[in-house]
Structure 1
């Protein structure tokens, strides 16, 4: 097979095929005596696996999975997939908690049932919980999304449980692709227990994104399994299918 043969199936460029091979997302191709690449069904299967992994886990994770497979580090590849599933589960749990909070707001309750750390907490602790940098939290504060108090003696930010709740919600909506000014509006609604129509629409949209991502993970798992079944088993590695 030529690069054009692989590219045609997915509507991508032949340069993209060469780039994927260069970056280790495809196994190395043999060459003709004149230097042209020779691709096989193995490469076609690897390409299908990689392109299916991208919408499910993101470009960085998809690349990490494929390079780990090609380095015979199957455990590392599976660990990368586990991280993606763990994040999806965390998003689902947080979304469920936010929906419950919206229900309380709709009933006129002042509080929410979002899971939150006991406070006060530092900006570093909250950033670690969310998997973001402290600079990200400070940017959210500048955008009016977060409003942590300051310690009078040190001037350091102090995140109380309600602030952690706001950070969790902001993180969820940010992952859903919402802009900072939109998230700030949603958080103001939560704080004032005002109308929840805009928040409900945002959560419905994010629910659809989570469902699509979960389905994409199923497809990616099948494509990756197909590819692994075609790869030769390196010496010393257990062939799980044979057992």
Structure 2
């Protein structure tokens, strides 16, 4: 196990100590410092780096945020937090939680769509006029651009109905369900050819089983990312508070 972060000990920490406490290698600590994930270390006269417990908290927070939303976004966030207010930092963390919750909701809707497609084979459901969506409405519901839906159409993944007079796209229930499944599969990292194969398999007797397995995996992945973000919370709070204290002028005697 790594070293515990001793709140009473703000510094100095040697590079090797920071590495053990954060779970990174010495070289990774230096690389993450260079990338701005942690503040620059103080250099002594002989050139050795000197860190504080804040650096350890920043590295641990980075690990959790990177697991939740990816390393590039995590690097940007850790660098920005050092100049933001507590309210701005809290809003940024809240936005990440909202993003993960939305991804989870979309994966659940994709599961519901898959069940509906399976049930439709046995008992076709009549479509009501209010069930249809325009391309703008469906894009907003899936949090994608309308151009993405047009691309999926070109690739044969989601085929809308068309209003002949205006050539406007209209998506009925079958297309909406397909679009939800495609969005979830793409979010899981599947390329267009793989998604096309999976969508084509839905009409086979055993086809939905593989897609259902993928969607369950997607939900498990989102749960792990959410837990990683929660674990990063305490360390992230320490980083934000340290930044606030550093930016707040101290009391000076008159």
**Shorter-chain TM-score above 0.5:** yes
Q: Distance in 2 between matches of 1:100 and 1:126?
A: 16
Classify 1:128/1:34 alpha carbon distance in 2 versus 1 (closer, same or farther; 3 Å): farther
Gaps of 5+ in 2: 1-12, 250-254
**Separation of aligned partners in 2, 1:118 and 1:34:** 71
Distance 1:34 1:158, change over 3 A: farther
Give the length in aligned residue pairs: 230
Structure 1 unaligned regions, length at least 5: 237-243
Q: 1:201 to 1:149 in 2, by over 3 A?
A: same
Aligned-residue offset at 1:27:
1.9
Question: 1:119-170 CA distances to partner (integer Å, 9 max, x unpaired)?
Answer: 4413x55434433334433332333211124454555544445433322221
RMSD: 3.3
Contact in 2 for aligned 1:25/1:66 (Cα 8 Å): yes
User: Is the 1:57–1:81 contact (alpha carbons within 8 Å) kept by the matching residues of 2?
Assistant: no
> How many Å separate the matches in 1 of 2:217 and 2:126?
21
Partner residue in 1 for 2:252: none
TM-score by length of 2: 0.72
Which one has the largest radius of gyration? 2
More contact order relative to length (CA 8 Å, sep ≥ 6): 2
Q: Deviations over 1:44-91 (max 9, x none)?
A: 221111112110232243234312321133333322222222222223
SS of alignment partner, residue 231 of structure 2? helix
CA distance in 1, matches of 2:140, 2:31: 34
Q: Comparing 62-71 with 149-158, which one deviates more in the overlay?
A: 149-158
Give the TM-score normalised by the residue count of structure 1.
0.75
In the other structure, the counterpart of 1:204 is 216
1 CA distance for matches of 2:188 and 2:61?
24
1:50 corresponds, among 49, 62, 84, to 62
